[in-house]
Amino acid sequence: MRRGSRDAPGHVVSSVVAAPSTGPADQQSSDDVAEQPAPTPWWRSAVFYEIYVRSFADGNGDGVGDLRGIRQRLPYLRDLGVDALWLTPFYPSPMADHGYDVADPREVDPLFGSLEEFDLLLAEAAELGLRVTVDIVPNHTSDRHAWFVEALAASPGSPARDRYLFRDGQGDGSEPPNNWVSTFGGSAWQRVPDGQYYLHLFAPEQPDLNWRHPEVVADAERTLSFWLDRGVDGFRIDVAHGLFKDEQLRDNPGPPSTGTFGVGAGEAHSWNQPEVHGIYRQWRRLLDSYPGDRMAVGEIWVADPEDVARYLRPDELHLGFNFHLAMAPWDGPAMRAALVASTAATSRVGAPATWVLSNHDIVRHVTRYGGGEVGLRRARAALMMLLALPGPVYLYAGEELGLPQVELPDDALQDPIWERSGHTDRGRDGCRVPLPWDGSQPPFGFSADAGGQPWLPMPADWAGYTVAAQTADPASMLEFYRRALALRRELPELSGSLEWTLEPAQEDELLSFRRGSVQCLVNLGTGDLPRPAGQVLLASFPGQHDGLPPDSAVWLRNRGESAL
């Protein structure tokens, strides 16, 4: 049995999830969740859209996406029907990890634009009703950050080194201080010419900060205030389960959790330390001191959903990505287990689960779900599932076009993972290929200047994926996303509580849940399934069909008396 950690399967598991407190269908509140204050903050149910800035739109023709390109495409995003944007780091950076190595967190890299350009973007987005959130990278800096340059120039034991994690090696000094490994491969320790080592849980160009140093704590708050003062609506916190490390930097007890995801007991000393919660309490107070429901979502790659929920207690982060669902295969019991475990955990702390299927670090879900026509069908069904669940949804730029993961040639790969793994792991470039906007050949309108070479090569056969090719084609993925997003806004039922509506025996192939009078059914099996009575509000499959074909979903309006 693949029933894993699901809890209380039954005919109707009511009020598994606390829903936002407004809306006509909000009659049932969960026993173990306090009433939410009204009005419901926007972020509890918003649709966010992740823009990997390098890859979205290139406004100056140099082959790299930038803030001007985003500004030019804001009307597209409004018409798509999303509520808010998440911009990946656009701060000055040597780009060893494409911007996640930040040299100055309170500036804009000239490659992406300028602060003035950012202010224009914010203002223009606001005019279109789009909120803007930005990425904060608190766990580490670039090795070109002024603090690290100073630390390298200083001697062992000096105060400048204390902002990072410098240590002597073990034995005669030639062994690293402990057994920690880098997420990108190899040891997490880099030796410097005077013999000391510094910690980098990612690339050597990303030294980890010492969060027990008051200047590190104060500087991060300065960064948050800097962007809040400019008017951002919130933040995505990069590796939010990082920051603090075991004070004695003890050896980790076991191997890292390869093959699964998220840190677990094997890496008990390098990640997910209790002290980090104190930082998020301070940040929550800072965010709450600003008007307008500013928010923060954490990237929390922690294996246990209960542990993830600890970051989402009412005085900590507002949201945390649910990677359990993103990592689940296309399989009924696995998906339901991910949904139930995560929603149960977050609802116990009064937070919504935050749904995401793709981002700039993971294989695009069209490909994960089987690729080709099958992958596209499943991706449509998965979108309907996400949009019908309570809680915010994060879309990743390009998923609305049905973009697959791209198999890039070796010489095009740029992700540091490729080199650090000794060319055994191709890294994440395949989900970061620039977006195709129009035209019949690369760069498909990505670069304003037709001569611009996109920073990653775009497949020559992407003409059918462009925004222009898909617009007004009712059968396209893009028009399907637009319809689904518009309908989600129009259906007041989708602010009601969630009920699972299945007998356990049916769960292997069918997911079914209800939000008030709207029922969402997803067929994860291989054969047609009968469909309960009801008005079809949206179907992921084309044409008329009396049942529910494999790899499809439907939203029905019914009163539930004829549940399957």
Please tell me the distance from the alpha carbon of residue 560 to that of residue 474, in angstroms, as a whole number: 30
Q: Report, in Å, the least distance between residue 106 CB and ligand GLC.
A: 18
233, 238, 316, 400: the active-site residue? 238
Task: Give the amino acid at 478.
Answer: L
Q: Report, in Å, the least distance between residue 134 CB and ligand GLC.
A: 13
Task: Give the amino acid at 477.
Answer: M
Q: Which residues pair with 395 in a beta bridge?
A: 49
Please tell me the distance from the alpha carbon of residue 377 to that of residue 374, in angstroms, as a whole number: 5
Tell me how crowded residue 369 is: count the other CB atoms within 10 A of its CB.
21
Q: Does residue 238 contact residue 135 with C-beta atoms inside 8 Å?
A: yes
Interface residue with ligand GLC among 50, 83, 109, 361 (CB under 6 A) is 361
- SS3 (DSSP) at 556: strand
The alpha carbon dihedral of 445, 450, 451, 452 has a sign of negative
List, edge to edge, every strand of the sheet that includes 131-136.
319-320, 295-298, 234-237, 131-136, 84-87, 47-51, 393-396, 355-356
- If binding is defined by CB under 6 A, does position 100 make contact with ligand GLC? yes
Asked if 299 is an active-site residue, the reply is yes
Based on CB atoms, which residue is closest to ligand GLC, 33 or 96? 96
- If binding is defined by CB under 6 A, does position 316 make contact with ligand GLC? no
Q: Report, in Å, the least distance between residue 263 CB and ligand GLC.
A: 12
Please tell me the distance from the alpha carbon of residue 348 to that of residue 26, in angstroms, as a whole number: 18
Based on CB atoms, which residue is closest to ligand GLC, 50 or 66? 50
Interface residue with ligand GLC among 202, 280, 446, 455 (CB under 6 A) is 202
Asked if 221 is an active-site residue, the reply is no
- If binding is defined by CB under 6 A, does position 117 make contact with ligand GLC? no
Distances (CA, A) of 419 to 85, 480, 483, 539: 31, 39, 42, 44
Which residues 206-245 are close enough to bind ligand GLC by CB under 6 A?
238-239
Q: Report, in Å, the least distance between residue 139 CB and ligand GLC.
A: 7
- DSSP annotation of 188 reads S
Based on CB atoms, which residue is closest to ligand GLC, 202 or 481? 202
Q: Report, in Å, the least distance between residue 424 CB and ligand GLC.
A: 18
Q: Report, in Å, the least distance between residue 128 CB and ligand GLC.
A: 26
Query: CB nearest ligand GLC: which residue?
Result: 100
Q: Report, in Å, the least distance between residue 206 CB and ligand GLC.
A: 6
Non-local (6+) Cβ contacts of 55 within 8 A are 65, 360, 397, 398, 432, 433, 434, 435, 455, 456
The vertex-18 CA angle with 13 and 23, nearest 5°, equals 110
Q: Does residue 232 contact residue 295 with C-beta atoms inside 8 Å?
A: no
Q: Comparing C-alpha atoms, which of 239, 263, 243 is closest to residue 253?
A: 263
List alpha helices for 349-471, DSSP H.
Answer: 365-368, 372-388, 416-420, 467-470
Based on CB atoms, which residue is closest to ligand GLC, 44 or 420? 420
Q: Report, in Å, the least distance between residue 242 CB and ligand GLC.
A: 8
* Rg, Å, the chain Cα set: 24
Based on CB atoms, which residue is closest to ligand GLC, 299 or 429? 299
The four Cα atoms 215, 106, 128, 43 give a dihedral, to 10 degrees, of -20
Distances (CA, A) of 220 to 10, 213, 217: 47, 11, 6
Based on CB atoms, which residue is closest to ligand GLC, 238 or 493? 238
Interface residue with ligand GLC among 58, 97, 219, 316 (CB under 6 A) is 97
Q: Report, in Å, the least distance between residue 72 CB and ligand GLC.
A: 25
299, 415, 499, 551: the active-site residue? 299
Q: Does residue 138 contact residue 220 with C-beta atoms inside 8 Å?
A: yes
Based on CB atoms, which residue is closest to ligand GLC, 202 or 311? 202
Please tell me the distance from the alpha carbon of residue 123 to that of residue 108, in angstroms, as a whole number: 17
Residues binding ligand GLC: number (CB under 6 A):
9
- DSSP annotation of 463 reads G
Non-local (6+) Cβ contacts of 307 within 8 A are 272
- SS3 (DSSP) at 260: coil
Based on CB atoms, which residue is closest to ligand GLC, 73 or 360? 360
Q: Which two tokens stand for residue 179?
A: 């057994």
Based on CB atoms, which residue is closest to ligand GLC, 208 or 551? 208
- What is the per-residue binding string for ligand GLC in 150-189, x denoting contact by CB under 6 A? ----------------------------------------
Which residues 466-505 are close enough to bind ligand GLC by CB under 6 A?
none
- What is the per-residue binding string for ligand GLC in 265-304, x denoting contact by CB under 6 A? ----------------------------------x-----
Q: Report, in Å, the least distance between residue 137 CB and ligand GLC.
A: 6
Interface residue with ligand GLC among 18, 103, 134, 137 (CB under 6 A) is 137
Q: Does residue 553 contact residue 521 with C-beta atoms inside 8 Å?
A: yes
Based on CB atoms, which residue is closest to ligand GLC, 241 or 515? 241
Question: Which residues are identified as catalytic?
Answer: 238, 299
The footprint of ligand GLC (CB under 6 A) covers 97, 100, 137, 202, 238-239, 299, 360-361
